[in-house]
Amino acid sequence: MNAHERIRIKCVYPGLASLRRADHQRAMIQSLFSFGHGYSARAVSRLLDPAQWRIIGTTRDPKQLEAIRASGAEPRIWPGAQPDLEGVTHLLISTAPTADGDPVLAELRAGIAAHAGQFKWVGYLSTTAVYGDHQGGWVDETTPTAPTAERGRWRVRAETQWAGVPNLPLHIFRLAGIYGPGRGPFSKLRRAGLRRIIKPGQVFSRVHVEDIAQVLIASMGRPNPGAIYNVCDDEPVPPQDVIGYAAELQGLPLPPAVPFDKADLTPMARSFYNENKRVRNNRIKDELGVSLLYPNYRLGLEALMRDQVTPPEDHGQ
């Protein structure tokens, strides 16, 4: 049984069940418009019942059109033609912000504001980088945002812009580091020159893409406009532990260890190590009834090994 079949079976969790009951009662097709239909958004569209949902997903790259179609969504190139939001019930935004803020709102704010009353649910995919550095301490959704990296500051600005659209049923999802089929330590182990960067006390939170999908669907089934959710697994750990376990599962030697202060890292890679925090995920369990498919990296990596699924990597959310 592959990962997709497993999650289909396991997705009798409350969010999907409520969505199906609501769909049945309304006897109508729900419509999800997904801006930036990348890795995480495609995991969502693969789970939604095509008999109950019409899904439209955008990309700026024509090479991604077939992958979007294969995920169960109708592909569109955007930026490009003006998106038709008539009849759209759910809106998902995965596009990365720039220094100027969110690119969707930069072009379409007036149109989205005009349709705000018709949306049942709007989801914005952000990042736990908005919390900044807490020297290994715990953060939750009530922790004030204090980003230290540029990418975190851009996300805070985008979150604020979306929250400023009147009457929008907005839900913000702050994602930890994403892994899953074709994305994560197994693909990195196949590259030459991989090292384990050792920085004492450093931990990262992470999340399997299938758990992101089930959190988003659970939220669609239990809308709570204004809610913010951290989306991560239960076990923040040092990055070298994940690489080491992946190598063990594949029967490969451990990549060499390099102290952080001697590692030749890009400014972007180094910025990740400049922030150290543990992210709590209680709210997705308590409010949405989510039971994580992969509550720690070991279970996630073991499932990937069993399935031997290695599609091309997609570096979007």
d(CA 61, CA 258): 36
274 closest CA partner among 101, 133, 113? 133
Q: What percent of the chain has pLDDT over 70?
A: 88
pLDDT of 177-197, one tens digit each? 999 998 888 878 877 678 899
How does the average pLDDT of the chain come out, rounded? 90
Domain at 3-178+208-233+279-294: CATH code: 3.40.50.720
Tokens 């990962």 sit on residue = 3
The angle at the Cα of 226, spanning 147 to 127, to the nearest 5 degrees, equals 30
Contact call for residues 5 and 62 (beta carbons, < 8 A): no
Provide the residue-wise pLDDT of the chain in tens; the chain has 317 residues: 454 444 443 444 455 555 555 544 444 789 999 999 999 999 999 999 999 999 999 999 999 999 999 999 999 999 988 999 999 999 999 999 999 899 999 999 999 999 999 999 999 999 999 999 999 999 999 999 999 999 999 999 999 999 999 999 999 999 999 999 988 888 788 776 788 999 999 999 999 999 999 999 999 999 999 999 999 999 999 999 999 999 999 999 999 999 999 988 888 888 889 999 999 999 999 999 999 999 999 999 999 998 864 433 443 46
Contact call for residues 153 and 292 (beta carbons, < 8 A): no
d(CA 239, CA 267): 18
Contact call for residues 211 and 293 (beta carbons, < 8 A): yes
Which DSSP string corresponds to 88-146? --EEEE-PPPBTTB-HHHHHHHHHHHHTGGG-SEEEEEEEGGGG---TT-EE-TTSPP-
Cis amide prior to 181 (ω within 30 degrees): no
CA dist 166 → 31, 79, 110, 121, 160 (Å) = 21, 24, 11, 14, 12
pTM exceeds 0.75, yes or no: yes
Domain boundaries, the chain: 3-178+208-233+279-294
pLDDT of 129-152, one tens digit each? 999 999 999 999 999 999 999 999
d(CA 288, CA 73): 25
Q: Quote the tokens at residue 159.
A: 């979150």
